[in-house]
Structure 1
Amino acid sequence: MPPIAKLLFGGCLTLAIVMGVGRFLYTPLLPLMQHQYGFTPDIAGLIAGANFAGYFTGSMLAALTSRGLARRLAFRGGLLASVVTTIAMGLTSDLTLWLILRLLSGMASAFAMIAAAGIVAEQLARIGEESRLAWVFGGVGAGIAFSGLIVHALIGTMNSSALWVLVGILTAILMPLALVFVRERPLPTSRRPADPRRRIPRPLAFWPLFASYTCQGLGYSVFATFIVALIKARSGVEGLGDWVWIVTGLAILPSCLVWSKAAERIGFAAALTTAYGAQIVGVMLPVVSTSPVAALAGAVLFGGTFIAITMLTMPLGRHGLAGRGFAVLTAGFGLGQMLGPIAAGHMVGAAADYTRPLAASAGVLALGLTALVVAIRQRDRTPAKMA
């Protein structure tokens, strides 16, 4: 395997383990956990919020490990902790321990993801192949689809505890490949000619962009937590719940590559605006229609945009606030996604009707799109190409 392929595969596998599984395995297992343990939607939102709180905390701490040995240790420790906390979720039924484990899992996924992406991005930048980082983020979709398929195949024969352990063990088997492949290594110089049509990102007004990205964190997290529970609560389409989540993962796989190419053609801000619009439609489809087609189309639109929006936002705001833009944007996003499931869980209530919080999350995403438009309009006009 060529060195660049090893690096990309290792990064992709890391995100599959710590994000696709470590962070999002809870989504397809949530209905099964509620059936097994009998907890209410507000508790479900609290458990999800604990994981997002851990990710928020880990993202902030990861800023202290941006280079060298500290980053390598953050990557390895985060990867190992993600696997261990996934397995441990199936070994207890205590709510307090669940909250602690999900908090630690969120921190672990942030450390491993940020460290791995940083290592890969730096290596690619040295040879002018930054655009290939999109392959790494596709790992989130691979992990979601992989774990979703396992849950779907075994849901009739295994309870949620056993599935936490099983999927965790499978990630433990794959983990050594990620540990070996994600490292600094010499890469051959790129021979691809420069594309004169390629557009580059031009920074947007920071605070409206911050507001937009915070809304994105809140809005997406509700769909990502409760969509399977929503579909499984509907009479006649219950069996589609697992497939909606699997399709979401499959849609993520090519999304970053597609949106990266689109941004280089039509501009980053235009691509980001379009992605927001598509995501709002995707979130609303299962709200306004109970048909299987609407649910699957919503999964495609949501999966095809939510990782890509992060990929498109960062280049437009990372240099803001004297270079602190990445950390501040991540903080806003983390705060939004921490509050989203908790608020949504309380909105669901005892009736187990998930349509209202999903509709509310679409409204929050619409506010995010509005803030994004404001950020674009406030950007100073220059003779340079529009981003």
Structure 2
Amino acid sequence: PYTDWRGQWWLLTAVGLLLLIPAWRWLPRPNQGMPLQAGAGTDEGEPGPLWLWLLQAAYLCAGFGYAINATFTVLITEQQPALSGQGGLMWLLVGLAAAPAPILWDRVARRWGYLRSLQAAYLLQIIGILLPVLSGSLIAAVASSLLFGLTFIGIVSLVLTMVGVRYPGHPAQIMAKLTVGYGIAQIIAPVVAGELAELTGTFDGSLIWVSVMMGLGLLCLVAMVMIAARAPSGRGQSPGT
């Protein structure tokens, strides 16, 4: 009531900067683990540099998928003539689907392996992203919201768990690199999507664009499986891991 949304964002930014001071100065430092070097750990079964680069690229693409859905799900729903006033419901469905997702994907990963489970999650999220483009119905909106909630947190959970398994000596360093890429995508994606929507008057182009980005991430995961299949038996685990 005291300021508009711009003022609220500036206020939250100021609060975040203030909280950064005690977090930076007084929180205990994490254990840095083993130093990360080029090719380090490959003798102990860690994947090679190309595998890691592909994982970083795939996770970057996942950041685009997350950012578009998290930022614009409500607005995309409200812009559908038959769904006016249903945006809040769609966001509620996202949360309901996300709550059990890490447990469900953990079960899937135990059966299929991490990479194959990630491929399934990426594919389901692509379908969910494209559903509002293909149909403006309530059923499509509900399915899109449920698929997003089910997959976005599942992708994060699967990737970070896989990193802990494949890089036991220094998982925090790998996770930090992945998180940087994921965060960069979250900064870029809403800007690009907003510009596309303003130019075209609809979010269809933005959704198609981000589905292409997720498709590139899926291709990276497929390449990772191929690399794992060609690796010597001592270099790592099964292709699906």
**Cα distance in 2 for residues equivalent to 1:108 and 1:281:** 39
Do 1:248 and 1:302's aligned partners in 2 also have CA atoms closer than 8 Å? yes
Do 1:255 and 1:304's aligned partners in 2 also have CA atoms closer than 8 Å? yes
Query: 1:99-127, CA deviations, whole angstroms, 9 ceiling, x for partnerless residues?
Result: 45258559979x7xxx9xx9xxxxxxxxx
Cα displacement (A) at 1:92: 2.3
Q: Which one of 342, 346, 349 corresponds to residue 195 of structure 2?
A: 346
2:106 maps to 1:255: no
Q: 1:299 to 1:97 in 2, by over 3 A?
A: closer
| 2:176 corresponds to | 327
Q: 1:385 to 1:108 in 2, by over 3 A?
A: farther
| 1:370 corresponds to | 219
Matched residue count:
209
Q: Which one of 230, 233, 236 corresponds to residue 82 of structure 2?
A: 236
**Cα distance in 1 for residues equivalent to 2:106 and 2:47:** 16
**Cα distance in 2 for residues equivalent to 1:286 and 1:106:** 37
| 1:246 corresponds to | 92
**Cα distance in 1 for residues equivalent to 2:18 and 2:218:** 28
Q: 1:307 to 1:375 in 2, by over 3 A?
A: same
Cα displacement (A) at 1:360: 1.0
Query: 1:44-90, CA deviations, whole angstroms, 9 ceiling, x for partnerless residues?
Result: xxxxxxxxxxxxxxxxxxxxxxxxxxxxxxxxxxxxxxxxxxxxxx6
Do 1:216 and 1:368's aligned partners in 2 also have CA atoms closer than 8 Å? yes
Cα displacement (A) at 1:233: 1.4
Q: Which one of 76, 89, 92 corresponds to residue 3 of structure 2?
A: 92
**Cα distance in 2 for residues equivalent to 1:280 and 1:247:** 18
| Larger RCO (CA within 8 A; separation ≥ 6) | 2
Cα displacement (A) at 1:209: 0.5
Corresponding letter in the other structure for 2:72: F
2:228 maps to 1:382: no
RMSD across aligned positions (CA)? 2.9
Q: Which one of 290, 302, 315 corresponds to residue 136 of structure 2?
A: 290
Corresponding letter in the other structure for 1:239: G
Q: Secondary structure in 1 aligned to 2:80?
A: coil
Corresponding letter in the other structure for 1:382: S
Q: Secondary structure in 2 aligned to 1:239?
A: coil
Tell me the percent identity.
Answer: 31
- Which sections of structure 2, spanning at least 5 residues, go unmatched? 31-45
TM-score by length of 1: 0.49
| 2:56 corresponds to | 210
2:207 maps to 1:358: yes
Query: 1:309-365, CA deviations, whole angstroms, 9 ceiling, x for partnerless residues?
Result: 001011333529965211101111111111111111111116641221122111111
Corresponding letter in the other structure for 2:207: L
